[in-house]
Amino acid sequence: CRTLRLVFGDQLSPDLSALADVDAAGDVVLMVEAVEECTHVPHHQRKIAFFLSAMRHFAAELEAGGLRVDYRRLDAPDALPSFGESLADAVARHRPERVVLTEPGEWRVLAAAKTWQDRLGVPVEIRPDTRFLCSIAEFQRWAGGRKQLRMEYFYREMRRRHRILLDGAGEPVGGQWNYDADNREPLPKGLIPPDPPTFAPDAVTRDVLALVAERFGGHFGRLDGFAMAVTRADAEALLDHFLEHRLPLFGRYQDAMKQGEPFLYHSLISAALNVGLLDPLAVCRRAEEAYLAGAAPLNSVEGFIRQILGWREYVRGVYWTFMPGYAARNALGAHRPLPRFYWTGETDMNCLRQVVTETRDHAHAHHIQRLMVTGNFALLAGVDPAAVNAWYLMVYADAVEWAQLPNTHGMALFADGGLLGSKPYAASGKYIERMSDYCGRCRFTPKRQVGPDACPFNALYWDFIARTRAQLAGNARMTMIHRSLERMDPAKVADLRRHAEAVLAGLYADA
């Protein structure tokens, strides 16, 4: 063939740069289900099923559009274990004049791709991923020379550049850039969020589910009840439903947690967005339209758009600017192993039990569950960032490394020393009590600091503040809490730290 065009599992977009100048008559599109990509970390069963089903549907879409797709199924008798081997085999079979790809979403894969030209003996062209709203070069121009990178300033530039939620004078609609202060309410009793739409598995998905059960049934997670959006049409329907039914209250309750309600008012589009089934700018425009039509309030729409236009682009820029060293940072010197309950859900701490169970069942948890429950606990307990990162990458269907790593490593664990967030997101049981109904059904009491009924988050929190105090003394956002620590009776601090030690000892007792 003339050109062999590669499409990775998170590149399922018809406007992918690798396909820009495709010639249906002379080119071949290569898509590979590589077993190594499912097992280099053993991903959640649902996550694997989602990726494989979305890939198979996308390949069918390309074929229906007249393209020749060489689709390498994981269960084919001649399947090769890695992407690299499948590519070499495809080059030998198709004898292309060149190979074209869009830069992959993972540093490890891009590093490998840069060796392909020499190894395969054929020209390899790596194109920028133009599906994002800010290129890596643009991000680096913005970041260059700044002492601190703050998402808020980046976000304002992105609003201006893409002219989103601006008035005629180029100022933010409503007079403020950010309405986060309106977006921190717990869910009132009696308010029942609408059920999200479900997408019954078709024959393609059913095949994939059987394959995953057979080959990866030992991985974390469950497959039953799989109802994810795996096609462009499904993803559009998911977005439509969100804009109409959940966006209006999304903002107000975006930080709320409620037992038995894993989805609340969240959009649930992150997995579809991250594999390319939705276009980020189009999603932002749809949300803006909902505001302009009076169908959703500004605090919801601005908060939603900020996640996509601001945060998502910002973490991608951070990832590509600071990798590979970024992943190796361990600013707080955290070295404990990941507690076993992250896999089993077996813990008396109800908040953690709920979040891990929902994660196992749905390969999903919303941002506050990830940041303030599982992330916060790992931060307070001093769990090794590498172990925590691996867990987040494995268990969430939307976890592609450029998005997952900065969120976990930087935002949740402060392992980057404050590059991404201005202070550690450490919180005691009080925060979880305020934002959820978990504590009422927990055997611990969030009001107690020490003793057998005390919420373990409390002592761990003060132990964290005390043990990082010298290191974080120069951080202005920690001054208030450091003052509170200083004002505390030293005997009480000692008591709390002893209790924290006992909690940690208990946690690893059976390990």
Summarize as ranges the residues that interact with ligand SF4 (CB under 6 A).
Answer: 349-351, 429, 432-433, 438-439, 442, 444, 446, 455-457
- Measured from the Cβ of residue 494, the count of other Cβ atoms closer than 10 Å reads 12
In the complex, least distance from residue 83 CB atom to ligand SF4, rounded to whole angstroms? 41
Considering the complex, state which of residue 318 and residue 356 has its C-beta at the smaller distance from ligand SF4.
356
Considering the complex, state which of residue 53 and residue 376 has its C-beta at the smaller distance from ligand SF4.
376
In the complex, least distance from residue 189 CB atom to ligand SF4, rounded to whole angstroms? 17
CA gap 229, 395 in Å, rounded: 18
In the complex, least distance from residue 270 CB atom to ligand SF4, rounded to whole angstroms? 25
Produce one character per residue of 191-203: b if its CB has 16 or more CB atoms within 10 Å, e if not: eebeebeebebee
CA gap 295, 167 in Å, rounded: 18
Considering the complex, state which of residue 239 and residue 351 has its C-beta at the smaller distance from ligand SF4.
351
Q: Measured between alpha carbons, how far apart are the two ends of the chain, in Å?
A: 55
Considering the complex, state which of residue 149 and residue 442 has its C-beta at the smaller distance from ligand SF4.
442
H/E element, 125:
strand 124-127
Considering the complex, state which of residue 442 and residue 478 has its C-beta at the smaller distance from ligand SF4.
442
Question: Cα-flanking dihedrals φ and ψ of residue 185, to 5°?
Answer: -95, 140
Considering the complex, state which of residue 151 and residue 351 has its C-beta at the smaller distance from ligand SF4.
351
In the complex, least distance from residue 490 CB atom to ligand SF4, rounded to whole angstroms? 25
In the complex, least distance from residue 444 CB atom to ligand SF4, rounded to whole angstroms? 4
Produce one character per residue of 365-384: b if its CB has 16 or more CB atoms within 10 Å, e if not: bbbbbbbbbbbbbbbbbbbb
Contact 91, 4 (CB under 8 A): yes
- Measured from the Cβ of residue 99, the count of other Cβ atoms closer than 10 Å reads 24
Considering the complex, state which of residue 216 and residue 444 has its C-beta at the smaller distance from ligand SF4.
444
CA gap 29, 13 in Å, rounded: 13
In the complex, least distance from residue 364 CB atom to ligand SF4, rounded to whole angstroms? 20
Alpha-carbon dihedral 212, 216, 221, 225, rounded to 10 degrees? 20
CA gap 399, 271 in Å, rounded: 8
Contact 398, 104 (CB under 8 A): no
Considering the complex, state which of residue 33 and residue 255 has its C-beta at the smaller distance from ligand SF4.
255
